Amino acid sequence: MRGCMWRVAGVALLAVQAGAAGKVFNVAERGAASDGKTLCTPALQQAIDAAGVAGGTVHFPAGTYLSGSLQLRSGVTLQFDAGATLLGSRDLKDYQFPSTNAAKPEPVFRNLIHGEELHDIAIRGAGTIDGNGSAFRDDKHRRPKNIVLEKCENVLVEGVRLRASGSWMENYKLCTNVVIRGIDVFNHVTFNNDGLDIDSSLNVVIADCRVDSDDDGICLKSTTGVPCRNVRISGCTVSSHCNALKMGTESGGGFVDIAITNCTVFSPTNSQVIYGKQRGLGGIALEIVDGGKMENVSVTDVRISGVSAPIFLRLGDRGRTYGRPQRPAVGTLRNVLLKNITAENCSLIGCAIAGLPGHPIEDVRLQNIDLGFEGGGDRTNTTRQVRERPDAYPECKMFGTLPAYGFYCRHVKGLQFDNVKLRTATADQRHALMFDDAEAVAINGLDVAGWPGGAALLRLVQTRSATLTGIAVRAPADVLLQLEGEQTKNILLDKSDVQAVRKISVAAPGVPADALVQKP
Q: CA-CA distance, 423 to 33, in Å (whole number)? A: 58
Q: Provide the residue type at 362 as one letter.
A: E
Read off the pTM: 0.95
437 burial type by CB count under 10 A (0-12 exposed, 13-18 middle, 19+ buried): buried
21 burial type by CB count under 10 A (0-12 exposed, 13-18 middle, 19+ buried): exposed
**What CA dihedral angle connects 490, 495, 499 and 500, to 10 degrees?**
-70
Pick from 174, 224, 237: nearest CA to 204: 174
Count of alpha carbons within 13 angstroms of residue 339, beta-carbon side? 10
Extended strands (E) in 235-360: 237-240, 245-251, 254-266, 282-288, 293-305, 309-315, 332-346, 351-354
Residues of the chain short of pLDDT 50, as ranges, are 1-20
Q: Do 206 and 196 meet the contact criterion of CB atoms below 8 Å apart?
A: yes
Cα–Cα distances (Å) from 233 to 215, 219, 238, 254, in that order, read 19, 11, 11, 17
Other residues' Cβ atoms within 10 Å of the Cβ of residue 213: 31
In the prediction, which pLDDT does 239 show?
98
In the prediction, which pLDDT does 101 show?
78
- Rounded to 5°, the CA angle 168-171-177 comes to 155
pLDDT tens-digit readout, 154-175? 999 999 999 999 999 999 999 9
Q: What is the 3-state secondary structure (H, E, C) of 373-384?
A: ECCCCCCHHHHC
Pick from 281, 444, 288, 305: nearest CA to 362: 288
In the prediction, which pLDDT does 18 show?
43
Q: Do 484 and 462 meet the contact criterion of CB atoms below 8 Å apart?
A: yes
Extended strands (E) in 449-476: 458-473
Q: Does domain 1-213 have CATH number 2.160.20.10?
A: yes
Going by C-beta distance under 8 Å and a sequence separation of 6 or more, which residues neighbour residue 509? Answer: none
In the prediction, which pLDDT does 452 show?
84
Q: CA-CA distance, 39 to 74, in Å (whole number)? A: 24
**What CA dihedral angle connects 397, 403, 406 and 408, to 10 degrees?**
-80
In the prediction, which pLDDT does 21 show?
53
Going by C-beta distance under 8 Å and a sequence separation of 6 or more, which residues neighbour residue 513? Answer: none
Q: CA-CA distance, 319 to 446, in Å (whole number)? A: 36
Q: Do 382 and 401 meet the contact criterion of CB atoms below 8 Å apart?
A: no
